[in-house]
Structures are given as structure tokens and as C-alpha cells.
Structure 1
Amino acid sequence: MMAPAALLLRGATVLTMDPALGDIADGDVRIEGGRVVAVGRGLPVELGDTVVNARGMLAIPGLIDTHTHMWQGPLKGLGAAMWGMADYHAHIFSLRGRLSAEDMHDAAFATGVEMLDNGITTVLDFCHNVMSPQHAERSIDAHRKTGQRVLFCYGMLGDIPTLATDHSWRMAQVRHLARAMDGGPQALVRLGVGLASLEYAGLDLFEEEVRAARGLGLPMSFHQNVAGQIHALEDAGLLGPDLLPVHCNPALDAELALLAAHGCGISFTPESEVGDGRSVRVMGRAHRAGVTPSLGVDVPSRVALDLFSQMRLSFWLMRNEEAEAERLAGRWPLTRYPGVPFIQPRQVLAYATVNAARAVGLGDELGRIAPGCIADLILLRCGAYSPSLGDPAAHVVLQSTTADVDTVIVGGKLRKQAGRLLDVDRREATAATQRVRARLFSA
């Protein structure tokens, strides 16, 4: 897909998320060759420009989801009444073997279109449903069709009883895909590795996957659900900035310090984790420890494909935790003093932009609206009545919804404008969802 010669966004309040540029009221953004080339006020219109009127809107970097199992999109609502991980394994995870390669294609396409519509320009698809080589191939085909930016993390966790025996063909396919796929920063679909969970694979198999992925230069992610795993990875010499753990709810402060020392981030999925009954206090502890937090939807079988709700919930959970600590310390009613409250809306917006770009291995390329950055950004309407007073980042985190997403740009190409998707069709995505459901549940 060729980017247009030039796009000029005019008159937005631009939240660049770049500390050197800050916010720019009545700002313009010029895009050429898929990258931002200028940000400022009163940029000139040049011959051949496509001009987008952004007055009254907020321009922010495209939202980046760092952990979602996209094959679950057509299962929306199936997990609504789940109670803990036992229900998840019984009612959702157990369906993996019933999805064909074509189901995987339809699921990835439908989920990607909905995410794009909702302002999520980049996603780490942790695809832990690669039950055959064709499952991976058709998922990648679907990602190329949506126009969303995707880090396809090839899932090494197949059928648990045959995990070790299936390992060789999975690694062979990963090596083949690594040779065949463009790994450059502007590639819309890049390859990563979704490592098999330590509690199922064991340390030896997990280490083999990590060392193979590092040899291929591939970013990695894994579910961190069991206490002590981070210490085990440190002892094995496996921690590094290319390794993104997810959840980390049982992590001790000493383990968070290890992650920070190795430049690791953590992908938090607050709605999913609250729904599982996990402690989410780790978010605030990780932030204070110097770990780079980012956010994901995780399981669209019960959680909306919506990063605005993840940001909002994250902010209020961390604020409530701070308030509870103040009450327990006898500092009540709440008063401000240096360092309290700690978490601010702009920091949470960074979770879904700047931090998330780093988590998917594109920290120098994405997550900001600044000259030289890849032009992934969205325009948000400020609501039917009036924009919020004060910090526009607070409006994004605490007031915005997916209904406010007016325009979506990926790699300098308009993917949605004036509330209407371009090049992909909501009806086609809906039909793909219905095909998956018919094949799964019609019998």
C-alpha cells in the first residue's frame, strides 16, 4: 500500500507525546512518505497535498495494544460470565483446537478491523492458537489485509500434552517466516515469538525458544502468572529488553527491580486481570520501580477492543491504591504533598503510546507525533458538547471513547476519515465473525 504524497492535518490540538515538542494548540502535522516531517502552527499547504481539517479535534499518536489474543474476537461475550482461570480454560481456551486455519484468518481480520475502527493502529497479536503451519500463515494473511500495524507473536504453546514433540515444526516455521517477512520498522506486519508459558514448557524448552528468537532478532512476549519466574529467568541469564512479560501480578518488588535493570517493560491488561480476581497493585509498583508499563485488551472473548477503557481503569485503580495507602497511614482526608498523588493522566496515555511503542520494539519509530516518526496517529472529536478544561491528555484518558475516533492514519495512509473506515468494510468484518461462529457452533 503506497502512502499518499503528502497529508496535512490542520488546526488540531496536537499531543505530540514528545517532551521536546509538548502540546501544540491549533497545530498542524505534515506527513510525507509515511512519516511525520513537520509539526507546528501555520504549516504551508503545498501543491498536491491532501488537507484534513482537524479543527476542534485532538491529534494523538495511534494507540498501541501490547497484548491481545486476536483469534478470540468472534467469541465476544462468550467469556462475560467467567469466574477465574478455570472457567477461561474450560470455556474459551478449550476451543482452540476447533478453529480451522480459515477460522483464524476470519478471526484475525474481523478483530483487526474493529481495533482499527477504535483507534488501535498497532497491536501485538499473541497468537497462542497455532495448531498447524496453516493457522499461522492464514492469520498473517489476514493481518496484511486489514492495514493495521501488527507484531504477530507466533505462539509456541500448542496442545499442552504434545508441546515438546510439536516444538521442532514450530521452530522450523518461525525460522522460515523470519527469513520471508520484512522485519523493518515500516513493515505493517512483523514477526515476533509468543513464548510457551514457563509453567507448561519448563525452563529448558523456554530457554531454547528465547535463544532461538534472539538469534533471529525477533522480539518476544510471555505470560508471567506464577511467582518466582522472573528470578528463574534472571538466574538463567534470559532477561532483556526484547522480552515482554505480560500480567506479572505475583511479581515481588525485587523481581520488578530486575525487570527495570534489564530494560524490560510489562504489558498490563487491567480489565482482564480484575475479571480474573488478580491483584492489580503491581501496576503502580512497577511504574515506581522504573519498569515501562503498557496496556493490552488480552481476551476479546469478554473484554471490549477498547484501549480508552483500559487507560481509564488503570488510572483509577492506581489512584485508588494511592488513596488507600494514605488512609492506612492516617493521612485523611486526602491532601497533596510532593510526590502524591503519583500517577497522572498523561503518564497513562504514555502507557498506550510511547511506552507501548518501546514494548513492540519500535520505541524510536512510533508512539510520538514528531518529525522522523512513522505517521501512525488518530484524530479524536472532543464530544458532542464541549472539550474538557485543562490538560487535553486528561480528556483522552478520562473522557474519550471509541465513538470519538474520527480519523485513523497508519503509515501516512488514511484508514478512517470522518468516522468512516476506508479500504476495509465493517460489513465484511461482521461477515467474517459470523462465519467463525457458524463453523464453531452450528453443529
Structure 2
Amino acid sequence: MSAQPAPPLATLTAAPAIVFRRGLVLTMDDAHTVHQVGDVLVIGNDVAAVGPDLDVPEGTAEIDASGGIVMPGMIDTHRHMWQTAMRGYGADWTLTQYFVWNYLEHGRKFRPEDYYAGNLLSAVEAIDSGVTTSVDWSHGLATIDHADAAVDALEEVPGRFVFAYGNIHAAPWEWSNSPEFREFVGRRMTRSEMLGFQLAFDVTGDPAFPERAAFEAARELDVAVTTHAGVWGATNDNGITLMHDHGFMTPRTIYVHAATLSDDSYQRIAATGGHASVSAESEASCGQGYPSSWALRRHAIPISLSVDTSVWWSADPFSAMRATLSTDRTREHAVAHANGETVTHIGLRAENVVEYATRGGARALGLDHLVGSIEPGKRADLVLIKNDQSPAMLPILHPYGHVVFQAQRGDVHSVLVNGKVVKYEGRLTGNALPKARKAVEETVDHLQRTLGEAEWTAGMHPDIPESKVLDNPYTYTEFRNAAAGTDEAHSAE
């Protein structure tokens, strides 16, 4: 059967329904049903039917998915979106250099309009690469104006977002209980299906546990907490113990990285039903600890994926999946070799990693009833991976392996969010990208002028004197965490 000409975007927008025809469909339902040649019918916001040769309502617009893969929209549970305006700037940073640049020196030079610029570009980029739900881990909100600007950007892009409010420059137990913050929550955080809400802060391990007041604020507001846990030199087992002993580890809590924790801490996370957000490119590059999927799997902790920040890395889900699979397998082989053994059957499979990128994220965010799989009644957050001009897109033999190891962000043909076409035939719809480009140019110009040429260039070629390296990036407290090189290092282990 010859392919039909692709309908124009206006036809899709005006049609009463849309159907993807003759694609290889990865449903990611509980049974991981795969339709080698299947259709997905979308009516309104929802998936109406999945299967071969579907009957469709009159006037349904058809997208030819033959030669491609239809899968659920991917979900990113930890993305510092405001930093996207600085894409690639910190390619050679260590985590310490990141802390120094953003938290101790230049982070406060970002104006509200710079947060808007970064968020707008990041939101557009997420959709372009097939991420339909993103957690904006917005942890530099020095003022409410910054928070308003960040949310303004998210609301301009037709994606699904969770705004994780944080302020690394101030104590979480203070800002989470301030009148200004509470006013902002009441005014902006209506928690619609398209914009969720979390609190984002870290637990330093101070035995006084001042973060308790921030956890109590989250409980009062009925929102989840997302926290960087198990980050070498910043957050360790002491923080997990404090959270657990005070009753603040819940199934809604997301532990980002979770890379340098003891078995006891992993067991506490597992026992309380928590979820982890793995960012393997980040963990492998800047030293939070070895990418943690191997440890999380050992303790049966549910996993979701993250791109962390494009100030360093690629910020697309294909790279996140590939890095997770590769680092997990690297460790499995290395451990076996150290014991004089050979791995003959690999533990982590491509299918598992696609699960992390879809259902794993949905479960972590409490959205599994809405998104994460292609099933009738769920929202139509869908991605078509198809590129007839790419030799890497044929043949498709192992669909999960193809998604993880063969496909790229440039192979994302179409994206639907909530039933709305937001990318089609490889091009984003709407005008957000040109607007983001202009805003980011203004931000870069502002930062270059503010820092000066020498400081701007030095940031990309870091050589930080030892006197500027602190074992604690949290400037709002005098407490110094047990860090590598101190006599308290990892005392909980």
C-alpha cells in the first residue's frame, strides 16, 4: 500500500480525531504490549483506542506512522530548566565548579527575565525531543519575581510540567514558610493537569534537622518533595536518616541521583515507597557518585530518568536512556571482571530503560493514571519516532533497543500533548522557539556584560583556587556536611 500524502497541520488541528496508522506501537501498558503494525486513535484529549486496523470516526485526520515507532511521551523528573540559557557553558565543570559558579558567585546575577528565557527554551526543547512531561527543578528562585517569570514561560508552551520550587540562596525552612511564598502558591499553583507543583530542597545532614519546617510546609500544602540525595560531598546518609526518623519519607518523595548511599539508606527509601530520579550523564560526568540504577535495582527502588541540566549535557531522553543502560552495564562487567568472572546474560535490558523513561516517570510524579502508557482513557501524550531520510531508522527489529541505541532527537517526527499536536513532520508548532531565541540572546548578552570578558571566558575554562572550594554549597547554613576529605566523611557508611 503506497503512503498517503501527509495532511497539513491545519487539517490535524481542525479534525475531530487523529489516528496514527500502521506504526510499531510500544504501549508500555502493564503487559508491555507491542503492536508490530498498529493504530492509535486520539479523540479530544484522550487515547480512544489502540490496535490494528481501527475503525475511526468520519473526518479523522490520519498520520502515517509506517516505518516508525509510536510510544508514550517521555517524562523527565529532574531538569534545571532555567540553566538552559547557558547551554554547554559548563561542559568542563566539576560539581564543585558548578556549585561555585551558580551558588557562590554568579547565580544571583540571573534576573527574572533570564529565568523566563531559560525556561522557555528548555520547555520547547523538551517537547522537540519527545519529552511531554518535565519537572522544572527551579532551585535558584531568589525572589517571587523569578518564580513568576519561570511559571510564565511554562504556561506559554503546550507541554505538561511540574514546577518544583526551590531557592538555593536561602534556607528552605524560611522561604517555604514566608508570606511571599505562600501568596505565590495561592496565586499561581492551581495544580492543573498541565502544571503540577513540588517543593525542591536538599537535606544537609545537620543533626538539628532545620529542614523539618520545610517538610511540614510541604505536608501542609499537600505537595511532594524532590531532593538531591546521595550526592558525594553534599548530601549523604545522615540526611536520609533524619528524614526517616522524623517521618518525612513517603511514596511521593523523589530522591534525585541517590548515587552514594549506604544499603541502609536504600532500604529506607524502598521501605517507604520512594522513587529515584537517575541522571546518568550527570552522575558519570561530575561526580555525584557512580550512576545509581545498579544500586536502585538491587533494592527494588522504582526508577525514573532525568537530564539534569543542559549547562553541561545533552538534555534529551535518548541520551538519558543510553547513558543509563551503558553505565549500568559497565559496572556489571567491571564487578564481574574484578571477581574473575564473565557476564553472559546482562541484567538491565533496553525494555527496562524505556519503562523508566515513561511509566517510571509517571509513577514517580503520581501521574500514572493519566500518562506514561498508551491505553484507552489515558491522556494522548504521544511520540512518533520516524525519519524516512535516516538510514539509522531501518530496519526496526528490536523496538526497545532501537529507541535506546538507534533513535535520536532528530528522529522525533510528531508529538502530541493532551491530544494537541505540538510537533509535526519534524517541526515544532507555534512560535515559542523564535521567542525563546530572542530572550536567550538577551540573557547571554546581559551575563557577558555583567561578568566581563575575562570572567565570562574563565567560567568555560575553570581553574578554581583551593580557597574557593567548599565542602558545603548551601550558603544559608554554617553546617558543614561530611564530605570527601574530612574526618567525618561518610560516617554513616
TM-score, structure 1 length as denominator?
A: 0.91
Q: Is 1:188 aligned with 2:188?
A: no
Aligned partner of 2:213: which letter?
E
1:243 alignment partner, one of 232, 235, 253:
253
Larger Rg: 2
Partner of 2:117: 106
Alignment of 1:7-406 (within 5 A): 7-20=18-31, 22-82=33-93, 84-93=94-103, 94-155=105-166, 157-160=167-170, 166-169=175-178, 172-174=180-182, 176-178=184-186, 180-184=188-192, 187-195=193-201, 197-199=202-204, 204-224=209-229, 225=231, 226-228=235-237, 229-280=239-290, 282-332=292-342, 334-336=343-345, 341-381=346-386, 384-385=390-391, 386-406=393-413
Aligned partner of 1:190: which letter?
G
Aligned-partner Cα distance in 2 for 1:206–1:348: 33
Aligned-partner Cα distance in 1 for 2:137–2:23: 34
1:435 alignment partner, one of 434, 437, 442:
442
- Measured after TM superposition, the shift of residue 70 of structure 1 is 0.5
Q: Which moved more, 1:382-391 or 1:319-328?
A: 382-391
Root mean square deviation of aligned Cα: 2.1
- Measured after TM superposition, the shift of residue 104 of structure 1 is 1.2
Partner of 2:418: 411
Change (3 A) 1:34 1:203: farther
Unmatched runs of 5 consecutive residues or more in structure 2: 1-12, 451-493
Aligned partner of 2:200: which letter?
G
Paired residues of 1:353 and 1:368 also in contact (CA < 8 A)? yes
Paired residues of 2:358 and 2:373 also in contact (CA < 8 A)? yes
Paired residues of 1:381 and 1:405 also in contact (CA < 8 A)? yes
Change (3 A) 1:165 1:347: closer
Other structure's SS at 1:320 match: helix
Paired residues of 1:272 and 1:297 also in contact (CA < 8 A)? yes
Paired residues of 2:207 and 2:242 also in contact (CA < 8 A)? no
Change (3 A) 1:174 1:298: farther
Aligned-partner Cα distance in 2 for 1:72–1:230: 27
TM-score, structure 2 length as denominator?
A: 0.82
Aligned residues with identical type, % of pairs: 29
Aligned-partner Cα distance in 2 for 1:201–1:79: 30
Q: Which moved more, 1:27-36 or 1:67-76?
A: 27-36
Aligned partner of 2:212: which letter?
E
Q: Which moved more, 1:238-247 or 1:280-289?
A: 280-289
Other structure's SS at 1:352 match: helix
Alignment size in residue pairs: 430
Other structure's SS at 1:439 match: helix
Aligned-partner Cα distance in 1 for 2:304–2:369: 16
Change (3 A) 1:222 1:326: same
Aligned-partner Cα distance in 2 for 1:369–1:25: 14
Render the CA deviation track for 1:178-197: whole Å, top value 9, x for unaligned.
Answer: 5653324xx211222112x2
Unmatched runs of 5 consecutive residues or more in structure 1: none
- Measured after TM superposition, the shift of residue 202 of structure 1 is 7.1
Other structure's SS at 1:442 match: helix
- Measured after TM superposition, the shift of residue 299 of structure 1 is 1.9
Paired residues of 2:414 and 2:424 also in contact (CA < 8 A)? yes
Other structure's SS at 1:429 match: helix
Aligned-partner Cα distance in 1 for 2:383–2:88: 27
Change (3 A) 1:410 1:138: same
- Measured after TM superposition, the shift of residue 80 of structure 1 is 0.9
Aligned-partner Cα distance in 2 for 1:441–1:181: 33
